[in-house]
């Protein structure tokens, strides 16, 4: 069944890997800046050694998260954890290098920008709140307890946080625009223009992923491969406009008969495919019969002529008919053509 999903960049494997590489570079940049400050800053030797040990520990954290196979796979939660660790590192370093008067306070912009680009508004807002709390903590030793939350201190805090809120908001808005543009481009690339179903390329991607998931989880699924029985006749008799309307009516029939988790595609010409997750062969046969029955029972009017159609359907189920996408499609294709050859009003399934 055709869908119009919103493709978030941070849910795409390739984009996630790109974000992960960017975060790693930001973390190394953060380490370089702090190391540089250790060299040129006026810091006591005992404190400098203490800070150097902490930076080495953070370097180890980065290497584990990005270069060991167990942790190297990117995901949103790992990116979020890394930004929170960056905030804690900056707070710890600033605490020992001047607190609220430290020259490194602006390093807080790095996790804010990272979160805005990769993690969205809510996570960014939570991180701004955490940074604000850290800023209050950094200044607590120089302010009496009764003045900690006074109007003047609150004004100082908001004035300091405002640039971060502004940068986070603007960056998040820009990233959302990118996400929406990416979503439209990908949806267009995956959709058949005539029927608004998925196209062949998108269906093959879904099928390959379904095979991999079924192998890992020991689950079953089925697919249908259908071919319109009278498109050429309709084209010859009424013209290609009527033929296009016929293909659209078949697509509408799929939308009516299938579940929300199913995926239908125009495989090419007058061929259609349907992916049925968590569906046995017996259940797939029932769905195929329902598709045929509703399609035969419906018609559309073309210039005063009632146009009807039927569809020949072949069925394949994982794993009994194959454990690869190619084998499953071949089996369904054989069933579909057996249906056509026998010219019977039933679904053919090759043994």
User: Do 20 and 169 have their domain in common?
Assistant: yes
Q: What is the rounded CA–CA span in Å between residue 312 and residue 271?
A: 9
Please indicate whether residue 56 or residue 155 has the higher confidence score (pLDDT). Answer: 56
User: Do 16 and 149 have their domain in common?
Assistant: yes
Final residue of a structural domain among 142, 158, 188: 188
Number of folded domains that form the chain: 2
User: Do 135 and 254 have their domain in common?
Assistant: no
Mean pLDDT, the chain, as a whole number?
82
Q: Which residues contact 76 (CB under 8 A, 6 or more apart)?
A: 10, 11, 16, 118, 119
What tokens does 291 get?
């598709």
Does residue 349 lie in a domain region?
no
Does residue 338 lie in a domain region?
yes
Query: What pLDDT, on the 0 to 100 scale, is given for residue 228?
Result: 87
User: Do 180 and 45 have their domain in common?
Assistant: yes
- Between 31-45, 96-110, 129-143, 291-305, the lowest mean confidence (pLDDT) is in 129-143
pLDDT digits (tens, 9 = 90+) for 66-78: 777 555 566 778 8
| DSSP reduced 3-state for 59 | helix
Final residue of a structural domain among 162, 188, 214: 188
Give residue 143's pLDDT band: very low, low, confident or very high (50, 70, 90): very low
Q: Which domain holds residue 91?
A: 9-188
pLDDT of residue 350 exceeding 50, the answer is: no
Give residue 89's pLDDT band: very low, low, confident or very high (50, 70, 90): very high
pLDDT digits (tens, 9 = 90+) for 192-235: 888 888 999 889 989 999 999 898 888 899 999 998 888 888 88
Cβ–Cβ contacts within 10 Å for residue 7, how many? 16
pLDDT of residue 144 exceeding 60, the answer is: no
Is the bond into 319 cis (omega within 30 degrees of 0)? Answer: yes
Q: What is the rounded CA–CA span in Å between residue 62 and residue 68?
A: 10
What is the CATH number for 245?
3.30.70.270
Query: What pLDDT, on the 0 to 100 scale, is given for residue 225?
Result: 93
Q: What is the rounded CA–CA span in Å between residue 46 and residue 176?
A: 46
User: Do 145 and 66 have their domain in common?
Assistant: yes
Does residue 1 lie in a domain region?
no
pLDDT of residue 9 exceeding 70, the answer is: no
Q: Considering the entire predicted model, what is its pTM?
A: 0.59
User: Do 182 and 269 have their domain in common?
Assistant: no
């Amino acid at each position: 069944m055709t869908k119009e999903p919103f493709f978030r960049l941070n849910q795409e494997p390739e984009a996630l890997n790109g974000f992960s590489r960017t975060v790693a570079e930001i973390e190394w940049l953060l380490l370089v800046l702090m190391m540089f400050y250790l060299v040129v800053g006026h810091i006591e030797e005992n404190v400098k050694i203490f800070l150097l040990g902490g930076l080495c520990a953070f370097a180890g954290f980065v290497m584990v998260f990005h270069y060991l196979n167990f942790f190297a796979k990117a995901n949103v939660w790992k990116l979020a954890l890394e930004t929170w660790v960056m905030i804690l590192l900056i707070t710890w370093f600033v605490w020992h290098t001047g607190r609220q008067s430290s020259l490194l306070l602006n390093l807080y912009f790095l996790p804010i920008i990272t979160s805005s680009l990769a993690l969205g508004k809510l996570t960014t807002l939570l991180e701004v709140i955490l940074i604000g709390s850290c800023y209050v903590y950094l200044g607590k030793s120089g302010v009496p307890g009764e003045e900690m939350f006074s109007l003047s201190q609150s004004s100082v805090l908001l004035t300091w946080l405002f640039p971060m809120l502004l940068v986070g908001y603007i960056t998040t808005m820009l990233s959302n625009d990118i996400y929406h543009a990416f979503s439209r481009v990908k949806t267009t690339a995956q959709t058949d223009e005539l029927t608004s179903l998925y196209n062949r390329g998108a269906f093959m991607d879904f099928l390959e992923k379904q095979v991999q998931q079924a192998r890992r989880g020991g689950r079953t699924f089925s697919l249908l491969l259908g071919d319109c029985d009278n498109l050429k006749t309709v084209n010859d008799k009424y013209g290609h406009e009527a033929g296009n309307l016929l293909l659209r009516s078949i697509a509408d029939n799929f939308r009516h008969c299938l579940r929300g988790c199913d995926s239908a595609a125009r495989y090419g010409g007058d061929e259609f495919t349907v992916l049925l997750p968590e569906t046995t062969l017996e259940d797939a046969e029932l769905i195929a019969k329902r598709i045929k029955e509703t399609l035969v029972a419906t018609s559309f009017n073309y210039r005063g002529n009632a146009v009807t159609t039927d569809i020949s359907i072949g069925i394949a189920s994982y794993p009994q008919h194959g454990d690869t996408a190619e084998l499953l499609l071949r089996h369904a294709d054989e069933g579909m053509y057996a249906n056509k050859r026998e010219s019977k009003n039933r679904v053919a399934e090759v043994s």
